[in-house]
Amino acid sequence: LLWQGLRESVPDSVVYRQGEAVTEVEETGAAGVGVRLAGGSVERYDLVVGADGYRSVVRTALCPESRPQYAGYVCWRGNFDAALLAGLGSVADSVPEAGTTVCFPGGSCVIYRIPGPDGPRVNWVLYGSPPRDGQLRLDDPTSFPPGGLTPALAGHLAALLDREFPPYWARALALTAPADTFVQPIYDMETTRTAAGRLLLAGDAASVVRPHNTSGAAKALQDATALADGWRRCGSFEEL
């Protein structure tokens, strides 16, 4: 719903392209910025705003020395059909509207309902220590998206739930299909600069806050608002 609302506000005069991966950007002075696409073609633009996340290609061009630093723990996420809770055989057969928090040594998990295409679903976000057998690369930002969870990582999560969670909630989270589970190492990052020449960074490309602060989306919207305000006040790219 959020994406649709934002997408519908983009004027028809704006070319909106999906599925075009940008592999490199290079500022070329008065000629603007060259944007290289995955297919090999290079396009020229007057200004490039890098709102391309914590693995930003634009940030690599603007300040290559600024790199995300691993924070020492990972985030597991998943969701499943809320109707499955009825089969757990417990008096605690539902997730309260306000959600549930499970805390354990070295981590925590929040569990709450979300709307789904076929009815309510249960979403959960778990912060804890990573596997210690090299299953995750922690020297460079990476993640295992939904559908990419390996059997070894699934086994690590199952063992964590069995060891640290109350039995009911361990069984509840185990209802999550591997295709609906992913894991993401947590990183911190603050860039040395967010703008130079015809390049500008916004959102997680400019700075990364840990997801349990629940401020990343607000930060990105504030950046976009500041850019729009600056654009109205300035008469040139240099002033912006």
pLDDT in tens, 107-165: 999 999 999 888 999 999 999 987 776 666 666 666 666 667 778 888 889 999 999 99
Range of the domain at 157: 69-187
Residues 226 and 118 in one domain: no
Yes or no: say if 68 and 208 are a contact pair by the CB < 8 Å rule: yes
**Predicted TM-score (pTM) of this structure:** 0.74
**What is the CA angle 60-62-66, rounded to 5?**
60
CATH code where residue 217 lies: 3.50.50.60
Residue 8, in any domain of the structure = yes
Residues 73 and 174 in one domain: yes
Helix, strand counts (H, E) of the chain: 5, 12
Distances (CA, A) of 229 to 46, 194, 232: 19, 17, 5
Is the predicted pLDDT of residue 234 greater than 60, yes or no? yes
Residues 9 and 61 in one domain: yes
Yes or no: say if 153 and 169 are a contact pair by the CB < 8 Å rule: no
Residue 240, in any domain of the structure = no
Whole-angstrom distance, CA of residue 76 vs CA of residue 95? 19
Q: What is the pLDDT of residue 174?
A: 94
Residue 136, in any domain of the structure = yes
Residue 238, in any domain of the structure = no
Question: How many domains, in total, are found in the chain?
Answer: 2
Residue 239, in any domain of the structure = no
